[in-house]
Chain A
Amino acid sequence: NAGVMQNPRHLVRRRGQEARLRCSPMKGHSHVYWYRQLPEEGLKFMVYLQKENIIDESGMPKERFSAEFPKEGPSILRIQQVVRGDSAAYFCASSPQGYYGYTFGSGTRLTVV
């Protein structure tokens, strides 16, 4: 079992570009969560998805950010027109149905220059 796979590990974007972060959950896990971690801060919830559905996006900024988890393929977190404040580590986690704990991926470190 390869665990939760995130790619890329590091991503550099210029201000105004788009960032696409990918997450493949653990085999058998149908729930995906995205969290953001700013330097010296805790993990902040962004969005919770199941296959083809956004269940809770209460932590997602209203503009420029979107997430999807299609029937086939990885979950994608998309940030349009990135700004310097978007620089952070973005972690994806997954869990199976009905289980309360998560397994986290290694994260994507986004740097906006």
Chain B
Amino acid sequence: EDQVTQSPEALRLQEGESSSLNCSYTVSGLRGLFWYRQDPGKGPEFLFTLYSAGEEKEKERLKATLTKKESFLHITAPKPEDSATYLCAVQAEGNNDMRFGAGTRLTVKP
């Protein structure tokens, strides 16, 4: 069965303190791995899609990388506005639904 595990559950950083969020996955044939950001009381906001091992995507202070077993979301010099829950999801070949991890709740203190 497809599984997605995110770690840590929660992460507190000082403004400017870079770190990484982990997403480990087990899927029978990866169609895509997705990162979303979710603010309290809102729907998930799309960040990145990664399709194959070795692929990297960047957007502002965020960089997502992918291996055959895990993905990392690197946050460089975070700001308080980066505080949110970051969700990882995988979509298997032949499937239309995504399986989500439980998320990492990031808090960036000024």
Contact = CB atoms under 8 A, between A and B. Distances in A.
Interface of A: 4, 6, 31, 33, 35, 40-45, 48, 55-56, 58-59, 91, 93, 100-107
B91 interface: yes
A102 B87 contact: no
Interface stretch (B13-21, B38-46, B54-62, B63-71): B38-46
A42 B31 contact: no
Contact of B49 (A33, A101, A104): A101
B43 A101 contact: no
B108 interface: no
7 closest residue pairs by CB, A with B: A104-B43, A45-B97, A42-B102, A43-B100, A42-B100, A100-B32, A104-B44
A55 B96 CA distance: 9
A35 B44 CA distance: 11
Contact of B46 (A40, A43, A102): A102
Interface of B: 4, 31-32, 34, 36, 41-46, 49, 87, 89, 91, 95-103
A102 B98 contact: yes
B31 A100 contact: yes
Contacts of A105: 43
Given A91-B44, A106-B43, A41 B102 contact: yes
Nearest to A47: B97
A56 B97 contact: yes
A59 B102 contact: no
A59 B97 CA distance: 10
A33 B91 CA distance: 13
